[in-house]
Amino acid sequence: MLDTAANAARPQRRSPLSHRQPIASAGGGIALSERPFIGKLILRGDAAQIAPLLQESGIALPAMPCTSTAAGGLTALWLGPSEWLLLTPDGEEKSISAAIESGLRGVHFQLAEVTDHYTVIRLGGAQARQLLMKLTTLDMHRRAFPDGSVKGSIFGRVQATLHLPAGENAFDLIVRWSHADYLWCLLAMAGREYGLPEQMPQGRVALAVPG
Choose between 10 and 56: higher pLDDT: 56
CB atoms within 10 A of CB 166: 15
Task: Give CATH for domain 39-116.
Answer: 3.30.70.1520
What is each CA distance from 8 to 4, 15, 20, 35, in whole angstroms?
Answer: 6, 18, 22, 26
DSSP sequence for 11-49: PPP--TTTT---EE-TTSS-EEEEETT-EEEEEEE-HHH
pLDDT band at 12 (very low <50, low <70, confident <90, very high): confident
Domains of the chain, residue spans: 22-36+117-194, 39-116
Top-level CATH class of 22-36+117-194? alpha beta
pLDDT band at 211 (very low <50, low <70, confident <90, very high): low
Mean pLDDT for the chain overall: 92
At residue 57, does pLDDT exceed 90? no
Q: Identify which of 180, 183, 168, 182 has the alpha carbon closest to the alpha carbon of residue 36.
A: 180
Q: 109-137: per-residue pLDDT in tens?
A: 999 999 999 999 999 999 999 999 999 99
At residue 2, does pLDDT exceed 60? no
Q: 31-48: per-residue pLDDT in tens?
A: 999 999 999 999 999 999
pLDDT band at 8 (very low <50, low <70, confident <90, very high): low
pLDDT band at 171 (very low <50, low <70, confident <90, very high): very high
Contact, 131 vs 156, CB < 8 A? no
Q: 87-97: per-residue pLDDT in tens?
A: 999 999 999 99
Tell me the average pLDDT across 63-78: 95
Tell me the average pLDDT across 168-189: 96
Can you give the pLDDT at residue 205? 78
Tell me the average pLDDT across 162-172: 95
Tell me the average pLDDT across 177-182: 96
